[in-house]
């Protein structure tokens, strides 16, 4: 670092569950480079100023989704959020609407439970993969570009959980299925290779699921991959209703 570099102050949330009753803010002033992202500054502080800070990060390429934090009150992927976009003291906090484990690290167990509920995998393909005896006879599943296009946008989710921190429904109803889980479930309902829509739609019609969404659209606004989970939820609502209506006419398992 040169002596001419700009210095920036950061207010970082500190919380040690073994010692603290509530989170607190600690200020660090450090030299920064013009091309730094927020994550670069946090890593600098941990490596050179205070090694006790806890935070998550991995790829630094906006792919793994692990470095999501609140930056001046907004959910951001810190690895792609430029320091140059801010002035004055920058406030770094853990993602909102999640329990804090330590400092900037949050507990995502509740999300993982919701994630599993929507069965985010190709159900028929899984069954076929287990039936290796007849695999060569059946061959592989083919898919046209149009069929891929039907769900591709919703498949771009990296589970960064920014949408959960922005969602006003998650803030007041912690049991709400939430944007990412709903979007991923809907993504597989749209996949031409999948046969699990009936089960997922039953989940979507349950309490605290897609029909709890108020369509504030905050989730889509903060999504770093332009997944548009708000649109996915609205489409999932329609699909769940249509599936329910069909069930009135055609019993489950009927033809």
User: Is 222 inside any structural domain?
Assistant: yes
State the pLDDT confidence band at 94, using cuts at 50, 70 and 90: very high
Q: Which pLDDT score is estimated for 139?
A: 61
Q: Within this chain, do residues 132 and 190 fall inside the same structural domain, yes or no?
A: yes
User: Is 237 inside any structural domain?
Assistant: yes
For residue 251, pLDDT beyond 70: no
Report how far residue 226's alpha carbon sits from residue 229's, in angstroms, rounded to the nearest whole number.
Answer: 8
- Once rounded to an integer, what is the mean pLDDT over residues 225-237? 96
Q: Which pLDDT score is estimated for 4?
A: 58
Q: Which tens digits make up the pLDDT trace of 13-46?
A: 999 999 999 999 999 999 999 999 999 999 999 9
Q: Within this chain, do residues 34 and 71 fall inside the same structural domain, yes or no?
A: yes
User: Is 231 inside any structural domain?
Assistant: yes
Q: Which pLDDT score is estimated for 127?
A: 60
Note whether 212 and 177 are within 8 A (CB): yes
User: Is 115 inside any structural domain?
Assistant: yes
CATH number at residue 222: 1.10.1060.10
Q: Within this chain, do residues 142 and 99 fall inside the same structural domain, yes or no?
A: no
Q: How many domains does the chain have?
A: 2
Q: Within this chain, do residues 53 and 140 fall inside the same structural domain, yes or no?
A: no
Q: Within this chain, do residues 119 and 86 fall inside the same structural domain, yes or no?
A: no
Q: Within this chain, do residues 21 and 141 fall inside the same structural domain, yes or no?
A: no
Of residues 178, 172, 170, 180, the one with CA closest to residue 224: 180
Q: Which pLDDT score is estimated for 147?
A: 96
Q: Within this chain, do residues 177 and 211 fall inside the same structural domain, yes or no?
A: yes
Q: Within this chain, do residues 172 and 203 fall inside the same structural domain, yes or no?
A: yes
* Mean model confidence pLDDT for the chain: 91
Report how far residue 114's alpha carbon sits from residue 2's, in angstroms, rounded to the nearest whole number.
Answer: 48
- Report phi then psi at 232, rounded to 5: -60, -40
Q: Within this chain, do residues 188 and 231 fall inside the same structural domain, yes or no?
A: yes
* Angle separating helix axes 197-204 and 229-249, nearest 10 degrees: 110
**Percent over 70 (pLDDT), the chain:** 90
Q: Within this chain, do residues 67 and 121 fall inside the same structural domain, yes or no?
A: no
Confidence (pTM): 0.88
Note whether 114 and 178 are within 8 A (CB): yes
Q: Which pLDDT score is estimated for 244?
A: 82
Q: Which tens digits make up the pLDDT trace of 134-175?
A: 555 556 778 999 999 999 999 999 999 999 999 999 999 999
User: Given 84, 106, 128, which residue is the final one in a domain?
Assistant: 106
126 three-class SS: helix
Q: Within this chain, do residues 115 and 230 fall inside the same structural domain, yes or no?
A: yes
Phi-psi region of 208 (alpha: psi -120 to 50; beta: other; left: phi over 0): left
User: Given 49, 73, 106, which residue is the final one in a domain?
Assistant: 106
Report how far residue 38's alpha carbon sits from residue 20's, in angstroms, rounded to the nearest whole number.
Answer: 26
User: Is 200 inside any structural domain?
Assistant: yes
Q: Which pLDDT score is estimated for 108?
A: 97
User: Is 254 inside any structural domain?
Assistant: no
Q: Which pLDDT score is estimated for 128?
A: 55
User: Given 59, 75, 106, which residue is the final one in a domain?
Assistant: 106
Q: Within this chain, do residues 82 and 189 fall inside the same structural domain, yes or no?
A: no
User: Is 255 inside any structural domain?
Assistant: no
Q: Which pLDDT score is estimated for 124?
A: 81
For residue 255, pLDDT beyond 60: no
Q: Which residue has the tokens 């006419």?
A: 249
Q: Which domain holds residue 99?
A: 6-106
User: Is 1 inside any structural domain?
Assistant: no
For residue 238, pLDDT beyond 90: yes
State the pLDDT confidence band at 249, using cuts at 50, 70 and 90: confident
CATH number at residue 94: 3.10.20.30
């Amino acid at each position: 670092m040169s002596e001419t570099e700009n210095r920036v102050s950061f207010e970082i949330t500190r919380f040690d569950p073994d010692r603290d009753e509530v989170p607190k803010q600690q200020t660090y002033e450090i030299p920064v480079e013009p091309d730094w992202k927020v994550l670069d500054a946090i890593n600098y502080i941990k490596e050179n100023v205070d090694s006790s800070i806890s935070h998550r990060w991995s790829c630094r390429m906006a792919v793994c989704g692990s470095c999501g934090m609140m930056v001046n009150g907004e959910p951001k992927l810190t690895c792609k959020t430029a320091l140059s976009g801010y002035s004055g003291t920058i406030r770094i906090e853990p993602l909102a609407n999640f329990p804090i484990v330590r400092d900037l690290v949050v507990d995502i167990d509740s999300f993982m439970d919701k994630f599993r509920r929507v069965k985010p995998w190709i159900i028929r393909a899984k069954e076929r993969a287990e039936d290796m005896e007849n695999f060569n006879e059946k061959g592989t599943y083919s898919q046209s570009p149009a069929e891929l296009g039907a769900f591709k946008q919703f498949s771009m989710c990296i589970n960064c959980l920014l949408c959960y921190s922005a969602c006003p429904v998650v803030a007041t109803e912690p049991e709400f299925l939430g944007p990412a889980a709903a979007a991923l479930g809907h993504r597989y309902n749209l996949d031409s290779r999948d046969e699990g829509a009936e089960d997922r739609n039953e989940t979507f019609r349950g309490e605290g699921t897609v029909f709890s969404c108020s369509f504030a659209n905050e989730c889509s606004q903060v999504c770093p991959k332009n997944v548009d989970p708000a649109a996915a939820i609205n489409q999932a609502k329609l699909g769940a209703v249509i599936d329910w209506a069909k069930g009135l006419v055609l019993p489950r398992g009927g033809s």
